[in-house]
Amino acid sequence: MKLRFGRTLLLLIGLGAVMVTSSAQGQVAVDPNAYLYIAHAAAGRQFVSGGNPALPVDIKVNGVCVSKGQSFGEIRGPYAAPAGSWAFDLSLADSLNPCGNPTIASVTKTFSAGTTYVGVLNFIGSNQLDSVFFTADLSSVMTGRSRLLVINATHDTLTAVLKNATLTQTATLTPNALGNFLPSAGMYSASVESGATTVAGPINVTLLPRNVQIFVFAGSTSNNSVQLLGPKVIWDVF
Instruction: Report DSSP state, residue 9.
Output: E
Spatial CA neighbour of 235 closest among 210, 217, 214, 215: 210
Dihedral Cα 108, 13, 171, 164, nearest 10 deg? 150
Dihedral Cα 188, 193, 196, 198, nearest 10 deg? -80
**Superfamily for the 139-238 domain:** Carboxypeptidase-like, regulatory domain (2.60.40.1120)
Q: In Å, how far from its chain's centre is CA 13?
A: 8
Inter-residue contact 153 to 8 (CB < 8 Å):
yes
Instruction: Please give the pLDDT value at position 124.
Output: 64
Please tell me whether the peptide bond between 78 and the residue prior to it is cis, using omega within 30 degrees of 0.
Answer: yes
Q: What is the CA radius of gyration of the chain?
A: 18
Measured between alpha carbons, how far is residue 111 from residues 19, 38, 208 in Å? Answer: 18, 15, 29
Stretches where the chain sits below pLDDT 70 are 1-29, 44-50, 120-131
Amino acid at site 55: L
- What is the phi/psi pair of residue 10, to 5°? -100, 130
Read off the pTM.
Answer: 0.83
Residue 126 neighbours by CB under 8 Å, 6+ apart: none
Q: What string of DSSP letters covers 63-127?
A: TEEEEEEE-TT-EEEEEEEESEEEEEEEEE--SSSTT-SPEEEEEEEEE-TT--EEEEEEE-STT
Please tell me whether the peptide bond between 231 and the residue prior to it is cis, using omega within 30 degrees of 0.
Answer: yes
Instruction: Please give the pLDDT value at position 3.
Output: 36
Helix, strand, or coil here: 46? helix
Instruction: Please give the pLDDT value at position 46.
Output: 67
User: Bridge partners of 234?
Assistant: 212
The boundaries of every CATH 2.60.40.1120 domain in the chain are 139-238
